[in-house]
Structures are given as structure tokens and as C-alpha cells.
Amino acid sequence: MSYHQAPVELRELVAVSPASLDSTLRSLGNAVILTTCNRTEIYQDLPDPGATCPGREFLLERADPRSGELADILYTRSGEAALRHLCLVSAGLDSMVIGEAQILGQIREALDAATQAGTTTPTLVHAFHDALRVGRRARAETFIGRHAVSVSYAAVELARGVFGHLAGRQAVVVGAGETGELTARTLVEHGVTISAVANRTVAHAQQLVSRFGGRAVGLDDLPKALVAADILISATDAPGFVVTREAIASATSVRPDRPLFLVDIAVPRDVDPACAELPNVFLYGIDDLKAHCNANRDRRSREAQRVRAIIDDEVGRFLAWERTRAVLPTVIALRDRAEEIRQTELAQARGRLRRALQSTNGDAATSVDDIVEDLSRALVNKLLHDPTVRLRVSSDDPVLRDAVADLFGLNT
């Protein structure tokens, strides 16, 4: 499921947190789980594509009691269509922000997590490596990633649209992970002063503060940190609300006439929706960023066509590998059978050679020539015996005749 069909209220119900990712993967078996703020997708290698999809059942159970709503918007793709979708995601063509590069790292992390959990298969690994190559090629060979923005950038642009300009504004960043770092950097680039970075672990917040300024605070100190702030942008991977109505009410009670702009770009959501009920508090969620991102999508449509050509190329390579892999057991069995015949006939020829060379009667050179000749005839006869018998038994089968002719290059 993704932001295309599912609002954040549903996406957060099925989002898999880093803490539960390993156990979830093990419960699903052969699977890789890609979970971001805009999507939760489960890629599985199933022996029977027509069977019930465990990943789909998992998402429906996780969304209970709203599984009925989810059932109508879940999407399932198989085979080549599934690979193409993964490549589109990796290239950034399916992102809310077209061309954003953060998704590449998220796909790589998803594969690494599945590898550590022992839930990958050769097909899954090959597919994800192909998708990652698509993502790298798309950004190296096209301009799809040129001046690419991120969700964090879109959030800051949304804030700029509200305030007109951001220079001189003060902001609090909640969350000290990768998205929090991108947010802090983008704010500073727009002339915003980072007044505080709030995080459950203050030491992690301190790392961002050392680079972007402000002070590191725990989540309990958030009301005090917000007293002088104009903007709060929150991006944690916490399972519940970390910015509560009570915290915002406490902060705004001592600054009743100043507006406070809240942007929640986390899934599950960080900010209690009830905060929007407070006076002079304006709350925007990740789904509110779509308007800015749609404009970005239009600008990049031409580059998207070039990226799709790269996807066609890589998908073709994967399908060729898959066909080769499907016939590999037969090739191995054929070679093993040929090697068995070779070893048997070679052993017999060696015995005859030893006896010929030890014999004092006759011409040894002539005997060796005869033995080599017999060996070559025996190899050909033994190798062609079974195919010849099958052809004679099925002499009226044109498909078999054509297949043999093609395999042995008889029509060239």
C-alpha cells in the first residue's frame, strides 16, 4: 500500500517499525519488507503465484479493525509487473517527491534487514540488486535526480508558503534520525534558526545540534523549547504520538497571540491530530505535501521517460537470468549424465590401452589407434542412445523432432 491510495491514517496502521522488522520478516518467511513514510510493501518469493499471498493477509490483519477499508486499496503485483514496480520505486518515479534519492538507501536497508533475518532467496536478492542498479543508473544517466527535493524539503517549502519567507524564523526539529538531519539542514539553508532538537535520546539530538545549532532537549522538555518557536517539524519512527495536545497547549499558553506551525512527516504520525483544535496552531501532515510534490512531478516527466527505458533494459536482463536459472537444473543433469558416460568409457579404454602396451604380440601403435577409434564411437553412441530411442518411439511428434533439431543445431 502507498500514499497513492491510502491516507496516512491507514498507512500508519500497517507501518513496520525497525524494532519489529526482524520478527515480522521471520514470521512471513521468504520476504523483504520496504516500509517508509509513504509506503509499506512486502516482496515475497512464492512457489505458487496463484495461492493466497501471506503479505496481503499480514497487512489486513495488522489494519484490523479497518481491514475492510484496506482491502479495497491494497495492490498486488506478480512476476515481471512486481519487478517493474520495484524498479520504479528505486528510481524515485513512484515517490511523492519524484527523483528523491532517500528511497535508494531505504531499499538497500530493506534488503540488508531481510538478509540478516535469513528471509531472502536468490530471486529476491537478484531482483533487489537489479532495482538498486536501476536507481543508480537513473540518477547517473538522466537528470531525474537533478535538484531533487525530499519530503523534508517539501515540508520546509510548505512552511515558506505559509510564512512568505523563513529567514529569521525559529524552528524545533523532533527526531534525530536521517530525516531529522535532512530537515535541519534544509531549514538552515532557508535561513531558519534551529532553536532546539528534541529526541527521546538526548545524546542523539546533541549530534545534530553540534552541526546545526540550537540545544538538545528530551521530549519532556518540548513545551519549553516551543515557547519561542515558529515552526515544529517532526520525523521520528516512534509507534505513538510524541507531540501531544497537552505539550502544544502548554507551549502556546504563554504565547497566545503567536501562530505555531506544525508539520508532521512521520508515519506513524508523531503529532496528535487534536493539536489542530488549539487556537493559532496550524497542523499539516505528510499528505498535505502532495500539491508541492505534484508540481515537481510535472517538471520531471520528460526525464521519467528516459528512466523507463533504463527499467526496460534491467527488467530484460532479469528475465533472461530467470530463464537461464529455470533451465539450469536440466543443464546440470545433462552434463552429469554425459560425464558419467565419459568416465565409464574412459575407464574401459584405459584398461584396453594398458593391455595393448603390455602385449608382445602385434603392432601396439595400431592397437592404440583402434582403441581411440572405439572410444570415440562408444561416446557418441552412448550419448545419442536415449535421444534416438525417444525420437523413434515418438516419431509422429513434430514438436519433439523440432526441439531435437534446434538443440543440436541441425537446421543451421
Encode pLDDT of 345-404 as tens digits. Answer: 888 888 888 887 777 565 666 677 888 888 888 888 888 888 888 888 887 888 888 888
Output the nine-digit C-alpha cell for 215: 540545544
Q: Where are the alpha helices (DSSP H) in 190-300?
A: 202-212, 222-226, 245-252, 290-299
Taking all residues of the chain, what is their mean pLDDT, rounded to a whole number?
A: 87
Burial of 130 (0-12, 13-18, 19+ CB in 10 A): buried
Classify residue 198 by burial, with Cβ atoms within 10 Å: 0-12, 13-18, 19+. buried
Report the C-alpha gap between 287 and 293 in whole angstroms.
10
How is residue 369 written as a grid cell?
Answer: 589407434
Among the options 37, 87, 275, 293, which is catalytic? 37
Q: How far is CA 304 from CA 83, 92, 99, 335, in A?
A: 17, 9, 9, 45
Query: DSSP label at 173?
Result: E
Residues 5-33: tens digit of each pLDDT: 888 889 989 999 888 999 999 999 899 99
Q: State whether the Cα torsion 4-11-314-297 is positive or negative.
A: positive
CB atoms within 10 A of CB 405: 12
| 37 given a catalytic annotation | yes
Backbone angles phi, psi at 243, to 5 degrees: -115, 105
- Kindly report the pTM of this predicted structure: 0.71
Query: What are the two backbone dihedrals, phi and then psi, of residue 360, each rounded to the nearest 5 degrees?
Result: -95, -5
Q: How many CB atoms within 10 Å of residue 123? A: 16
* pLDDT tens column, 69-108: 888 899 999 999 999 999 999 999 998 878 888 899 999 9
Beta carbons within 10 angstroms of residue 376's beta carbon: 12
Cα gap 207→186, rounded to integer Å? 16
Q: Which structural domains are found in the chain, ordered by start? A: 8-148 (3.30.460.30), 151-293 (3.40.50.720), 324-407 (no CATH)
Q: Give the model's pLDDT for residue 365.
A: 62
Which residues have a Cβ under 8 Å from the Cβ of 161 and sit 6 or more positions away? 292
